[in-house]
Amino acid sequence: MADIRFVTDTFAVAPQIAVADIAEITQKGFKLIICNRPDGEAPDQPAAAQIKAAAEAAGLGFVHIPVVGAPNAAQAEALRAAIAEAPGPVLAYCRSGTRSILAWTLSEAASGARGRDALIALGRAAGYDVSAVAG
């Protein structure tokens, strides 16, 4: 079972997901999965291509935006663009969910969509400290 943490009604993050989690992710109404974890980071992680194949077989979109270390502005913009084009709720994942929520926070701060306090509160509610990048 995936540890899905909703940040907003249409965006959630999770630690590493497995092919077996795709049915649950689909059942929860997600339309796009974004992988922020680079392949080969750990020997036991499924490759992004495996998750992509399972997601697409279930009718979900899939985007791979690998982040090594802290997300940068280009990765945050790529995440924002993928979310903007998604036909419905989005789930982003990495090893722990931290890179995914940090990239999202950077994208929201850059767009001015939400203020620093709101971003910090949303991160905290999902179990993450985003204060370092919230604005």
The reply to whether 104 falls in a domain is: yes
**How many CB atoms neighbour CB 64 within 10 A?**
18
Per the structure, how many domains does the chain have?
Answer: 1
Q: In what order do the strands lie in the sheet with 32-35?
A: 5-6, 11-14, 90-93, 32-35, 61-64
The pLDDT value given to residue 19: 97
The reply to whether 132 falls in a domain is: no
The reply to whether 92 falls in a domain is: yes
Mind listing the pLDDT tens digit for each residue in 98-114? 999 999 999 999 998 89
The pLDDT value given to residue 3: 95
pLDDT at 9 over 90: yes
Mind listing the pLDDT tens digit for each residue in 14-39? 999 999 999 999 999 999 999 999 99
pLDDT at 135 over 90: no
Q: Looking up tokens 């090893």, which residue turns up? A: 95
Domain that holds residue 107: 5-125
Q: CA–CA separation, 113 vs 48, rounded Å? A: 30
The reply to whether 51 falls in a domain is: yes
For residue 43, give both structure tokens.
């020997």
Type of residue at 1: M
pLDDT at 7 over 90: yes
The reply to whether 111 falls in a domain is: yes
Domain containing residue 44: CATH number: 3.90.190.10
pLDDT at 128 over 80: yes
Mean predicted confidence (pLDDT) in 107-130: 94
Mean pLDDT score across all residues of the chain: 96
The reply to whether 131 falls in a domain is: no
The reply to whether 54 falls in a domain is: yes
